[in-house]
Structure 1
Amino acid sequence: MSLKQKITDDMKAAMRSGDTKQRDTIRLLQAAIKQREVDERIVLDDAAVIAVIEKMLKQRRDSIAQYEAALRNDLADKEKDEVAILSAYMPQALNDAEIDTLIAEAISATGAKNMQDMGKVMALLKSRLAGRADMAKVSILIKEKISA
Protein backbone atom coordinates (compact mmCIF):
# COMPACT_ATOMS: atom_id res chain seq x y z
CA MET A 1 0.00 0.00 0.00
CA SER A 2 1.36 3.39 -0.95
CA LEU A 3 1.75 6.13 1.62
CA LYS A 4 -0.89 8.27 -0.11
CA GLN A 5 -3.37 5.38 0.09
CA LYS A 6 -2.59 4.89 3.80
CA ILE A 7 -3.19 8.59 4.41
CA THR A 8 -6.53 8.38 2.58
CA ASP A 9 -7.55 5.30 4.56
CA ASP A 10 -6.60 6.99 7.83
CA MET A 11 -8.67 10.02 6.80
CA LYS A 12 -11.72 7.82 6.27
CA ALA A 13 -11.15 6.10 9.63
CA ALA A 14 -10.79 9.46 11.41
CA MET A 15 -14.02 10.69 9.84
CA ARG A 16 -15.88 7.54 10.91
CA SER A 17 -14.55 7.69 14.46
CA GLY A 18 -15.15 11.43 14.86
CA ASP A 19 -11.48 12.17 15.65
CA THR A 20 -11.45 15.82 14.61
CA LYS A 21 -7.76 16.47 15.40
CA GLN A 22 -6.59 13.63 13.21
CA ARG A 23 -9.13 14.41 10.49
CA ASP A 24 -8.13 18.07 10.30
CA THR A 25 -4.41 17.30 10.30
CA ILE A 26 -4.77 14.70 7.57
CA ARG A 27 -6.82 17.15 5.52
CA LEU A 28 -3.97 19.65 5.78
CA LEU A 29 -1.54 16.95 4.66
CA GLN A 30 -3.72 15.90 1.74
CA ALA A 31 -4.09 19.52 0.68
CA ALA A 32 -0.31 20.02 0.74
CA ILE A 33 0.21 16.86 -1.31
CA LYS A 34 -2.44 17.86 -3.82
CA GLN A 35 -1.03 21.39 -4.07
CA ARG A 36 2.41 20.06 -4.91
CA GLU A 37 0.98 17.64 -7.46
CA VAL A 38 -0.96 20.41 -9.16
CA ASP A 39 1.94 22.88 -9.08
CA GLU A 40 4.44 20.41 -10.53
CA ARG A 41 1.94 18.45 -12.66
CA ILE A 42 3.15 15.12 -11.34
CA VAL A 43 1.87 12.30 -9.17
CA LEU A 44 3.90 12.12 -5.97
CA ASP A 45 5.54 8.85 -5.00
CA ASP A 46 6.22 7.84 -1.39
CA ALA A 47 9.58 9.66 -1.26
CA ALA A 48 7.99 12.91 -2.43
CA VAL A 49 5.13 12.50 0.07
CA ILE A 50 7.71 12.04 2.84
CA ALA A 51 9.38 15.28 1.70
CA VAL A 52 6.02 17.08 2.00
CA ILE A 53 5.53 15.65 5.49
CA GLU A 54 9.07 16.67 6.50
CA LYS A 55 8.37 20.22 5.39
CA MET A 56 5.12 20.30 7.35
CA LEU A 57 6.86 18.91 10.44
CA LYS A 58 9.57 21.56 10.22
CA GLN A 59 6.91 24.28 9.93
CA ARG A 60 5.08 22.90 12.96
CA ARG A 61 8.27 22.72 15.05
CA ASP A 62 9.13 26.32 14.16
CA SER A 63 5.61 27.38 15.11
CA ILE A 64 5.83 25.55 18.43
CA ALA A 65 9.01 27.44 19.32
CA GLN A 66 7.43 30.77 18.41
CA TYR A 67 4.18 30.05 20.26
CA GLU A 68 6.03 28.96 23.38
CA ALA A 69 8.19 32.10 23.27
CA ALA A 70 5.00 34.15 23.07
CA LEU A 71 3.47 32.14 25.95
CA ARG A 72 0.67 30.83 23.71
CA ASN A 73 0.67 27.28 25.05
CA ASP A 74 -2.81 26.61 23.66
CA LEU A 75 -1.57 27.12 20.11
CA ALA A 76 1.68 25.27 20.83
CA ASP A 77 -0.31 22.26 22.08
CA LYS A 78 -2.34 22.21 18.87
CA GLU A 79 0.86 22.20 16.81
CA LYS A 80 2.32 19.42 18.99
CA ASP A 81 -0.77 17.30 18.31
CA GLU A 82 -0.27 17.84 14.58
CA VAL A 83 3.42 16.88 14.86
CA ALA A 84 2.45 13.64 16.59
CA ILE A 85 -0.08 12.77 13.88
CA LEU A 86 2.25 13.67 10.99
CA SER A 87 5.20 11.82 12.54
CA ALA A 88 3.25 8.57 12.31
CA TYR A 89 3.69 8.66 8.52
CA MET A 90 7.47 9.07 8.63
CA PRO A 91 9.76 6.05 8.21
CA GLN A 92 11.51 4.58 11.23
CA ALA A 93 14.23 6.97 12.43
CA LEU A 94 17.82 5.79 12.50
CA ASN A 95 19.77 5.73 15.75
CA ASP A 96 23.05 7.62 16.22
CA ALA A 97 25.24 4.56 15.58
CA GLU A 98 23.53 3.85 12.25
CA ILE A 99 23.88 7.49 11.21
CA ASP A 100 27.59 7.49 12.13
CA THR A 101 28.12 4.33 10.09
CA LEU A 102 26.40 5.80 7.03
CA ILE A 103 28.40 9.04 7.36
CA ALA A 104 31.68 7.11 7.56
CA GLU A 105 30.72 5.06 4.48
CA ALA A 106 29.79 8.20 2.54
CA ILE A 107 33.03 9.96 3.46
CA SER A 108 35.11 7.00 2.31
CA ALA A 109 33.01 6.52 -0.87
CA THR A 110 33.43 10.16 -1.91
CA GLY A 111 37.02 10.45 -0.70
CA ALA A 112 36.17 13.59 1.25
CA LYS A 113 39.21 15.17 2.85
CA ASN A 114 38.15 18.72 3.71
CA MET A 115 35.15 21.04 4.00
CA GLN A 116 35.04 21.62 0.22
CA ASP A 117 34.01 17.97 -0.18
CA MET A 118 31.11 18.25 2.26
CA GLY A 119 28.58 18.84 -0.53
CA LYS A 120 29.47 15.49 -2.12
CA VAL A 121 28.95 13.69 1.17
CA MET A 122 25.63 15.46 1.85
CA ALA A 123 24.38 14.69 -1.66
CA LEU A 124 25.14 11.00 -1.18
CA LEU A 125 23.53 10.84 2.27
CA LYS A 126 20.45 12.91 1.48
CA SER A 127 18.75 10.12 -0.47
CA ARG A 128 19.70 7.46 2.08
CA LEU A 129 18.61 9.44 5.13
CA ALA A 130 15.52 11.19 3.75
CA GLY A 131 12.88 11.20 6.46
CA ARG A 132 14.97 9.01 8.72
CA ALA A 133 17.34 11.55 10.26
CA ASP A 134 17.56 15.28 10.98
CA MET A 135 19.75 16.55 8.15
CA ALA A 136 20.91 19.56 10.21
CA LYS A 137 22.28 17.17 12.81
CA VAL A 138 23.85 15.04 10.08
CA SER A 139 25.54 18.13 8.64
CA ILE A 140 27.10 18.91 12.02
CA LEU A 141 28.34 15.33 12.37
CA ILE A 142 29.87 15.41 8.88
CA LYS A 143 31.68 18.67 9.68
CA GLU A 144 33.10 17.10 12.85
CA LYS A 145 34.33 14.01 11.00
CA ILE A 146 35.82 15.87 8.02
CA SER A 147 37.59 18.50 10.10
CA ALA A 148 38.99 15.92 12.53
Structure 2
Amino acid sequence: MSLTDQLMTDMKVAMKSHDKTSLSVIRLLKSALMNKKIEVGHDLTTDEENQVVVSQMKQQKDSLADFEKGGRADLVAATKEQMTVLEQYMPQQLSESELQQIVQKIATDIGAESKTDFGKLMKAVMAEVHGQADGSLVSKVVKDSLQEG
Protein backbone atom coordinates (compact mmCIF):
# COMPACT_ATOMS: atom_id res chain seq x y z
CA MET A 1 0.00 0.00 0.00
CA SER A 2 1.42 3.38 -1.00
CA LEU A 3 1.78 6.18 1.50
CA THR A 4 -1.01 8.14 -0.18
CA ASP A 5 -3.38 5.17 0.11
CA GLN A 6 -2.38 4.70 3.75
CA LEU A 7 -3.03 8.38 4.44
CA MET A 8 -6.50 8.17 2.87
CA THR A 9 -7.37 5.14 5.01
CA ASP A 10 -6.01 6.77 8.15
CA MET A 11 -7.84 10.02 7.36
CA LYS A 12 -11.16 8.18 7.23
CA VAL A 13 -10.43 6.54 10.58
CA ALA A 14 -9.43 9.89 12.12
CA MET A 15 -12.62 11.51 10.82
CA LYS A 16 -14.81 8.76 12.21
CA SER A 17 -13.09 8.86 15.60
CA HIS A 18 -13.05 12.69 15.70
CA ASP A 19 -9.26 12.69 16.20
CA LYS A 20 -8.49 16.30 15.28
CA THR A 21 -4.73 16.04 15.81
CA SER A 22 -4.32 13.02 13.54
CA LEU A 23 -6.62 14.52 10.98
CA SER A 24 -4.70 17.80 10.80
CA VAL A 25 -1.32 16.02 10.57
CA ILE A 26 -2.58 13.69 7.83
CA ARG A 27 -4.02 16.60 5.86
CA LEU A 28 -0.76 18.52 6.24
CA LEU A 29 1.25 15.52 5.06
CA LYS A 30 -1.09 14.89 2.11
CA SER A 31 -0.74 18.52 1.11
CA ALA A 32 3.06 18.37 1.33
CA LEU A 33 3.09 15.20 -0.79
CA MET A 34 0.82 16.81 -3.40
CA ASN A 35 3.03 19.92 -3.52
CA LYS A 36 6.12 17.74 -4.02
CA LYS A 37 4.33 15.78 -6.77
CA ILE A 38 3.49 19.03 -8.58
CA GLU A 39 7.06 20.28 -8.07
CA VAL A 40 8.70 17.18 -9.60
CA GLY A 41 6.03 16.66 -12.24
CA HIS A 42 5.47 12.93 -11.74
CA ASP A 43 4.11 10.43 -9.23
CA LEU A 44 6.40 10.27 -6.23
CA THR A 45 8.71 7.32 -5.65
CA THR A 46 8.88 5.76 -2.22
CA ASP A 47 12.16 7.58 -1.58
CA GLU A 48 10.60 10.92 -2.52
CA GLU A 49 7.61 10.23 -0.26
CA ASN A 50 9.97 9.37 2.59
CA GLN A 51 11.92 12.60 2.02
CA VAL A 52 8.69 14.60 2.37
CA VAL A 53 7.82 12.82 5.63
CA VAL A 54 11.34 13.35 7.00
CA SER A 55 11.16 17.03 6.00
CA GLN A 56 7.84 17.44 7.80
CA MET A 57 9.27 15.79 10.92
CA LYS A 58 12.29 18.12 10.80
CA GLN A 59 9.95 21.12 10.62
CA GLN A 60 8.07 19.82 13.67
CA LYS A 61 11.33 19.35 15.60
CA ASP A 62 12.43 22.88 14.72
CA SER A 63 9.06 24.26 15.83
CA LEU A 64 9.26 22.28 19.06
CA ALA A 65 12.69 23.76 19.84
CA ASP A 66 11.38 27.28 19.16
CA PHE A 67 8.31 26.76 21.34
CA GLU A 68 10.43 25.37 24.18
CA LYS A 69 12.73 28.41 23.99
CA GLY A 70 9.71 30.69 24.05
CA GLY A 71 8.18 28.96 27.07
CA ARG A 72 5.00 28.02 25.19
CA ALA A 73 4.00 24.84 27.03
CA ASP A 74 0.65 24.69 25.19
CA LEU A 75 2.34 24.65 21.78
CA VAL A 76 5.04 22.24 22.97
CA ALA A 77 2.39 19.71 23.98
CA ALA A 78 0.48 20.11 20.71
CA THR A 79 3.65 19.77 18.63
CA LYS A 80 4.68 16.61 20.50
CA GLU A 81 1.24 15.12 19.76
CA GLN A 82 1.64 15.97 16.08
CA MET A 83 5.12 14.42 16.02
CA THR A 84 3.70 11.22 17.51
CA VAL A 85 1.21 10.97 14.66
CA LEU A 86 3.87 11.81 12.06
CA GLU A 87 6.23 9.11 13.40
CA GLN A 88 3.82 6.47 12.07
CA TYR A 89 4.74 7.49 8.53
CA MET A 90 8.50 7.88 9.02
CA PRO A 91 10.78 5.43 7.24
CA GLN A 92 12.51 2.83 9.42
CA GLN A 93 15.39 4.56 11.19
CA LEU A 94 18.88 3.10 11.49
CA SER A 95 20.31 2.45 14.93
CA GLU A 96 23.50 4.23 15.94
CA SER A 97 25.53 1.01 15.62
CA GLU A 98 24.16 0.36 12.12
CA LEU A 99 25.02 3.94 11.21
CA GLN A 100 28.55 3.54 12.59
CA GLN A 101 29.08 0.50 10.34
CA ILE A 102 27.89 2.43 7.28
CA VAL A 103 30.11 5.40 8.13
CA GLN A 104 33.17 3.16 8.59
CA LYS A 105 32.54 1.40 5.27
CA ILE A 106 32.06 4.65 3.35
CA ALA A 107 35.08 6.26 5.06
CA THR A 108 37.22 3.32 3.96
CA ASP A 109 35.78 3.42 0.41
CA ILE A 110 36.46 7.13 -0.11
CA GLY A 111 39.64 7.31 1.97
CA ALA A 112 38.32 9.75 4.57
CA GLU A 113 40.78 9.79 7.48
CA SER A 114 40.97 13.28 9.00
CA LYS A 115 38.68 16.09 10.06
CA THR A 116 39.34 17.82 6.74
CA ASP A 117 37.41 14.99 5.04
CA PHE A 118 34.28 15.68 7.13
CA GLY A 119 32.30 17.35 4.33
CA LYS A 120 33.13 14.70 1.78
CA LEU A 121 32.28 11.86 4.17
CA MET A 122 29.11 13.56 5.43
CA LYS A 123 27.84 14.04 1.87
CA ALA A 124 28.50 10.41 0.95
CA VAL A 125 26.86 9.06 4.12
CA MET A 126 23.77 11.26 3.78
CA ALA A 127 23.35 10.08 0.18
CA GLU A 128 23.50 6.49 1.42
CA VAL A 129 21.13 6.77 4.40
CA HIS A 130 18.70 9.38 2.98
CA GLY A 131 15.76 9.49 5.36
CA GLN A 132 16.87 6.56 7.48
CA ALA A 133 18.85 8.62 9.98
CA ASP A 134 18.65 12.10 11.44
CA GLY A 135 21.28 14.48 10.08
CA SER A 136 22.46 15.48 13.55
CA LEU A 137 23.07 11.82 14.46
CA VAL A 138 24.92 11.26 11.19
CA SER A 139 27.05 14.34 11.88
CA LYS A 140 27.90 13.07 15.38
CA VAL A 141 28.85 9.59 14.15
CA VAL A 142 30.95 11.02 11.28
CA LYS A 143 32.80 13.38 13.67
CA ASP A 144 33.45 10.53 16.11
CA SER A 145 34.76 8.26 13.37
CA LEU A 146 37.16 10.91 12.06
CA GLN A 147 38.51 11.65 15.55
CA GLU A 148 39.26 7.98 16.17
CA GLY A 149 41.11 7.58 12.89
TM-score by length of 2: 0.88
Residues of 2 paired with 1:66 and 1:139: CA distance? 22
For the Cα contact (< 8 Å) 1:11–1:26, is it kept in 2? yes
Corresponding residue for residue 48 of structure 2: 48
Corresponding residue for residue 80 of structure 1: 80
2:89 corresponds to which letter in structure 1?
Y
Residues of 1 paired with 2:140 and 2:68: CA distance? 26
Q: Deviations over 1:58-84 (max 9, x none)?
A: 111111121122221111111111111
Corresponding residue for residue 71 of structure 1: 71
- After the TM superposition, which residues 10-49 of structure 1 pair with which residues of structure 2 at under 5 Å, given as runs? 10-49=10-49
Residues of 2 paired with 1:110 and 1:48: CA distance? 26
TM-score by length of 1: 0.88
Return 5+ residue gaps in structure 1 as ranges.
none
Q: Deviations over 1:54-108 (max 9, x none)?
A: 1111111111121122221111111111111111111222222111111111111
State the percentage of identical aligned residues.
31
What is the CA-CA distance between 1:50 and the residue it aligns to?
1.3
Between the two proteins, the alignment pairs up a number of residues equal to 148
1:84 corresponds to which letter in structure 2?
T
Consecutive aligned runs of 4 or more in structure 1 exceeding 6 Å deviation:
none
Residues of 1 paired with 2:48 and 2:62: CA distance? 21
For the Cα contact (< 8 Å) 2:99–2:141, is it kept in 1? no
For the Cα contact (< 8 Å) 1:4–1:46, is it kept in 2? no
For the Cα contact (< 8 Å) 1:106–1:124, is it kept in 2? yes
Secondary structure (helix, strand or coil) at the match of 2:31 reads: helix
Residues of 1 paired with 2:64 and 2:83: CA distance? 10
Corresponding residue for residue 102 of structure 2: 102
1:124 corresponds to which letter in structure 2?
A
2:100 corresponds to which letter in structure 1?
D
Residues of 2 paired with 1:90 and 1:77: CA distance? 20
What is the CA-CA distance between 1:46 and the residue it aligns to?
1.5
Secondary structure (helix, strand or coil) at the match of 1:131 reads: coil
For the Cα contact (< 8 Å) 2:25–2:85, is it kept in 1? yes
1:123 corresponds to which letter in structure 2?
K
Return 5+ residue gaps in structure 2 as ranges.
none
The answer to which of 27-36 and 138-147 deviates more is 138-147
